[in-house]
Amino acid sequence: MKFTDISHSTPAYLVLGVGILAVSSASILIRISQQEATSLVIAAYRLTIASLVLLPITVSRNGIELRSLKGKQLARLIAAGGFLALHFATWITSLEWTTVASSVVLVSTTPLWVALASPIFLKEKISRGVWLGLGLSLLGSLVVGLSSNCSIEAGRLTCDLGVHFWSGRSLLGNTLALIGGMCAAGYLVIGRQARPSLSLPVYIFCVYGAAALGLLAIALVSGANFIGFNSGNGFQFFSLPVWLCLIGLALGPQLLGHSAYNWALRYLPAASVSVALLGEPIGTTILAFFLLRETPSWIELAGGALILAGIFITSRASPE
């Protein structure tokens, strides 16, 4: 996909399908990278490499439009980039603490938070269908959150809700993934306002660039190392597979996947784009099963099904 606006005759859902396939690989690449690199470094590299690839393309083809940005328009782009930075910082970190399936399903609650923010920022009312979908997804989120402390034995469900649950690794990871979904909602809501008046290269370069600067600053303040890690044998540089995963994250899930979503924001309602996002948890869970040997529990699958059903109902609901 070229980084110019595609003809109106191009089937929009075909573009979204390509985006879903690209984004579904992100969690796998991140998991491999986390063997040596910290989550903040991975997030910073993902957006920085993507921005550097876009820089010469945007300047050469859309330089006049880029230089004409000012005031409210520029502020929206920076704000969208800020939310995108927080989204990746929290979501990628969540993959250190919980399963790929739980993380991706919870971060995909984004359409629900978009629905709640719409009356305030987009002047859209929330319909009964949205409230029904929100309730189902919140119930699903609770089920996923409890999954690491519950089990099914001899057909009976048993749960341990003691201190272990409140201090468990999975709870932290699931919470971070949920926050990541909320931040992504801010990114999409602002995108709905800013994207229609801008070409795709200018929009994604500014948003990705702002996110990259934010993530680089956070990673530097945290003291993260951008070229290697300390092991039992002393300092070691990142291995070639990790570098390839970092580059792959920028070129695939970011430039191809997220750019497909951003392109669609100009020609499709945000609800329609949100429905397409439902394909990501499914694709990612399948890849995690085959490549990482992560088998989701029946409780996780049940909670994920509730969340996806709720998101689908919310996205399809008509405004009142």
pLDDT of the chain, 320 residues: tens digit per residue: 344 444 443 566 677 778 888 888 888 898 899 999 999 999 999 999 999 999 999 999 999 999 999 888 899 999 999 999 999 999 999 988 887 777 877 887 787 787 777 777 666 666 777 778 777 877 876 676 566 555 555 555 555 544 444 456 778 888 899 999 999 989 888 887 787 788 889 999 999 999 999 999 999 999 999 999 988 788 999 999 999 999 999 999 999 988 888 887 777 666 556 656 666 666 666 777 777 677 777 777 787 788 778 777 766 665 55
pLDDT at 165: 40
pLDDT at 318: 54
Q: Which residues pair with 228 in a beta bridge?
A: 237
pLDDT at 314: 67
Domain boundaries defined on the chain: 18-316
pLDDT at 9: 38
Give the C-alpha separation, 191 to 178, whole Å.
20
Give the C-alpha separation, 120 to 197, whole Å.
21
Contacts 24+ apart (CB under 8 A), 290-298: 291/28, 292/28, 292/31, 292/100, 294/99, 294/100, 294/101, 296/99, 296/101, 296/102, 297/147, 297/151, 298/152
> What letters, b where the CB count within 10 A reaches 16 and e where it falls short, cover 168-181?
bebbebbbbbbbbb
pLDDT at 4: 43
pLDDT at 163: 42
The helix/strand/coil state of 159 is strand
